[in-house]
Amino acid sequence: MKKNLAVVGVQWGDEGKGKIVDILSEGYDCVARYQGGHNAGHTVSIGNQRHVLHLIPSGIFQRDVKCVIGSGVVLDPIALLEESDAIEQALGSSVRGRLFISNRCHLILPYHRVIEAAIEKQLGERRIGTTSRGIGPAYEDKVGRRGIRVCDLMDPETLPDKIRVQVADKNRVLQALNYPQAIDPEPICESYLRHSLKIKPLVVDATVMLNDLIRSGKSVLFEGAQGTLLDIDHGTFPFVTSSNAAAGGVATGLGVSPKYVQSVVGISKAYTTRVGAGPFPTESEDGPGETLRKRGNEYGSTTGRPRRCGWFDGPAARYATMVNAFDSIVITKIDVLDAFDEIPFCVDYKYKGSVLKEFPADTSVLAQVQPVYKNIPGWKKSLAGTKQWSELPVVAQDYLKFLSDYLGVPISMISTGPSRDETIRL
């Protein structure tokens, strides 16, 4: 029987989770997203088509797989409908009967985006550099026990009053933030009531559905968004997202017991990127960073922002390996390193002259650490599209072996290009 598997980002997101979940989900009965929202951008390249998924699990292109948006996700219904329309067009068939939304998901409403923009503006230099999707304020409302959920969206009698109460509250917050105008709740009520009718056929008790599937012996792949270093509890706080991207989020985000998470795989680039603000010790702001950006096409899948680029950050990946206890890791974008004579690999952080034993909790410390690099010879040969380990140059094998030994985790797959078949399976 196939084990249930969690697929988790090792770094600051955009590791190539979408490509790997699409491949791995073949043979699973279900793929379930456990956190985040449409801040995510997961790219799946099939043939000459490139799909970017934000909310819908990356298993949707495997036609026998059920896809679940779990209760830990914050849902913008309008974004979801736009995305499902685009996917139905690409698939040439309906997602009904294959795509399910938890009735416990919290909703993103337009005022969440307005508040986020006002707060980021007020923060100025200290801003997080969010994706402006309203993610943080929606999770704030959830934890503050005033959020509106999908089950509320399903009740047209009570929904408008729930929205009006929240808008009155948000207008007080916006006034305090010197926001120039008040939000009118009525167009929001009208729009959400209208969209609720289209969402309704997809809404289920996903907690019951997933537990029933698992108890009847079906296999579930749990899809993470963002990455461990963006996790609200374990990431580089405050420069994080507002949910638990690490493997611990699976159980809370789906209502399945941790006992059912039988295996965890980490997805990591062969180097490192980050979008938005926050410390990034191995960042290269000059030539090599630009080469990585150009060769890796490192522009945000959701916002189009240029991603900050740098070398593989060993201490950060080792920390993520501890937090998630990966059974194996997948290394993506190894082909992007083809161009370099030497590939620096950060093995340690130095802080005030001494090597740090642990990944620091304090962001101001992380911002001051000096990476200690081991320079590994490059291979200067195109690895794009390589499908066999034995076809890799020995120096590339050495880079990957060094990485695997450093983390103490076997590598289960290596990605050598965006497409499904540009993959080495080990």
* Residues annotated as part of the active site: 14, 42
Minimum CB distance to Mg ion smaller for 21 or for 105: 21
Q: Of 199-228, which residues contact ligand IMO (CB under 6 A)?
A: 225-227
Interaction residues for Mg ion, span 281-320 (CB under 5 A): 301
Asked whether position 279 contacts ligand IMO by CB under 6 A, the answer is: no
Q: Is 15 in the site for ligand GDP (CB under 6 A)?
A: yes
User: What part of residues 176-205 is at the interface with ligand GDP (CB under 6 A)?
Assistant: none
Selection from ligand GDP, ligand IMO, Mg ion, none that 171 binds (CB < 5 to 8 A by kind) is: none
Residues numbered 26 to 45 that lie near ligand GDP (CB under 6 A) are: 41-43, 45
133 binds, among Mg ion, ligand GDP, ligand IMO, none (CB under 5 to 8 A by kind): ligand IMO
CA angle 375, 381, 387 (to 5 degrees): 105
288 three-state secondary structure = helix
- Binds ligand GDP (CB under 6 A): choice among 5, 7, 11, 18: 18
**Cα 387 to Cα 323: distance, rounded to the nearest angstrom:** 31
3-state secondary structure 339-364: HCCEEEEEEEEEECCEECCCCCCCHH
Alpha helices in 177-281 (DSSP H): 185-199, 206-215, 249-254
In the complex, least distance from residue 108 CB atom to ligand IMO, rounded to whole angstroms: 11
| 261 touching ligand GDP, by CB under 6 A | no
- C-alpha dist (Å) from residue 402 to 98, 306, 343: 41, 29, 12
Q: What are phi and psi of 261, to 5 degrees?
A: -90, 90
Given Mg ion, ligand GDP, ligand IMO, none, residue 275, with its beta carbon under 5 to 8 Å by kind, binds ligand IMO
56 binds ligand IMO (CB under 6 A): no
Which of these ranges, 6-14, 81-89, 189-197, 314-322, lies near ligand GDP under the rule CB under 6 A? 6-14
**Minimum distance from CB of 42 to ligand GDP (Å)?**
4
Q: What are phi and psi of 106, to 5 degrees?
A: -85, 145
User: Which of the choices ligand IMO, ligand GDP, Mg ion, none does residue 131 contact, using the CB cut-off of 5 to 8 A by kind?
Assistant: ligand IMO
Q: Are 348 and 315 in contact (CB under 8 A)?
A: yes
Q: Which residues pair with 149 in a beta bridge?
A: 106
Number of residues in contact with ligand GDP under rule CB under 6 A:
23
With beta carbons less than 8 A apart as the criterion, state whether 298 and 326 touch: no
Measured distance CA(184)–CA(194) in Å, rounded: 17
Nearest to 120 by CA among 134, 133, 130: 130
Residue 129 interacting entry, from Mg ion, ligand GDP, ligand IMO, none, C-beta within 5 to 8 Å by type = ligand IMO
User: Strand, coil or helix: what is 55?
Assistant: coil
**14, 141, 335, 422: which one contacts Mg ion (CB under 5 A)?**
14
11 binds ligand GDP (CB under 6 A): no
Closer to ligand GDP by CB, 18 or 310: give it.
18
CB 57 within 8 Å of CB 95: no
Which backbone phi and psi does 283 adopt, to 5 degrees?
Answer: -60, 140
Nearest-angstrom CA–CA distance, 289 and 304: 17
CA distances from 123 to 92, 120, 132, 277 (A): 45, 5, 14, 12
**Least distance from C-beta 296 to ligand GDP, angstroms?**
6
Q: What phi and psi, each to the nearest 5 degrees, are found at residue 145?
A: 65, 35
Please list every residue from 137 through 176 that binds ligand GDP, using CB under 6 A.
none
Nearest distance, CB of residue 349 and ligand GDP, angstroms: 25
With CB under 6 A as the contact rule, the residue among 113, 133, 234, 293 that binds ligand IMO is: 133
Interface contacts to ligand IMO, rule CB under 6 A:
9, 12-14, 39-42, 128-131, 133, 135-136, 225-227, 230, 241-242, 275-276, 301
Q: What are the residues binding ligand GDP (CB under 6 A)? A: 9, 13-19, 41-43, 45, 296-297, 301, 332-333, 335-336, 415-418
Contacts with Mg ion by CB under 5 A lie at: 14, 41, 301
